Amino acid sequence: MANKLKNIFLSASIPLKERNPMYYDTADVIAIRDCVSSIAKVVLPECRLVWGGHPSITPLISSILGSVNVNIKEHVHLYQSDYFRQMFPIENKEFSESLIVTDNLGSRDESLDLMRKKMIIDNDFIAGIFVGGMEGVEDEFELFTQSHPEAMVLPIASTGAAALEIYEGGDFDQSLKDDYAYIALFYRLFKDYL
C-alpha cells in the first residue's frame, strides 16, 4: 500500500516579527494553524504528507495524529536538516520512523538547500500546498514548481504572509484567498484522490 500512496507537499510556517515584518504583517496565525490542521485531517488518511519540520508546524500535525488512524511510517515523511538538530521540536520523536534527516553542510543556506532538494526534487507529488510562511516558503514554491510542473499548486492566500505573496504573483482560484472552511476546501480540491 505504501507505494500506492500519493504524495502531497506542505510548505508552511508561522512568520516571526523579528525575522521579516513584511510576512508577519499579513499573516493570520489562527488561519495558518487551522489550515495546517485541516490539511492533516483531510490528507493523512488517504495520501502521504511530506514537509520540512518547521518547529511551528510539526506540533500541529502531531496533534492531529490521535484523531486519524494512519500508519505514520507510511503516511508521513518529515524532513529536517541536521544543521538545526538543536532546535528539533520534541514532537519529532513521534515521527521517528518517518523522519529523514539530511546532512549538515556547515552553513545554514547550504544545509537548507540540500534538505529542500532531497525533500522536493527526490519525490513525486500530486500537489504542493503553501501556507503562511516567510522567504523559505517562497523558495520552496519556486523549487516545487520547477521540479513538478504538472502538480496542483495551492498557495492558501487566506493565511497571509508568503502564501499571499505567491497567490498575488500568479493566477489561482479565488477560493484560496476567500475560503476559510479549510476542511471542505481540501475535500473539494482533492476529491479525485480521497
Pick the CATH number of 2-189 from 3.90.550.10, 3.40.50.970, 3.40.50.450, 3.40.50.2300: 3.40.50.450
State the amino acid at position 131 in one-letter form. V
Which of these, 19, 59, 4, 18, lies nearest to 36 by C-alpha position?
A: 59
The domains of the chain are located at: 2-189
> What DSSP assignment string belongs to 140-183?
HHHHHHHH-TTSEEEEEGGG-HHHHHHHHTS---THHHH---HH
Looking at the DSSP bridge assignments, the partners of residue 48 are 7
Question: pLDDT tens, 12-49?
Answer: 999 998 988 999 999 999 999 999 999 999 999 999 99
| pTM, two decimal places | 0.96
> What DSSP assignment string belongs to 72-108?
HHHHEEEEEEGGGGGG--GGGGGGTTTEEEE---SSH
Cell reading at 191: 476529491
Cβ 49 vs Cβ 70: under 8 Å = no
What does the alpha-carbon distance between residue 40 and residue 101 come to, in Å, rounded to a whole number?
A: 21
Question: pLDDT tens, 2-18?
Answer: 458 999 999 999 999 89
Question: pLDDT tens, 60-110?
Answer: 999 998 889 899 999 999 999 999 999 999 999 999 999 999 999 999 999
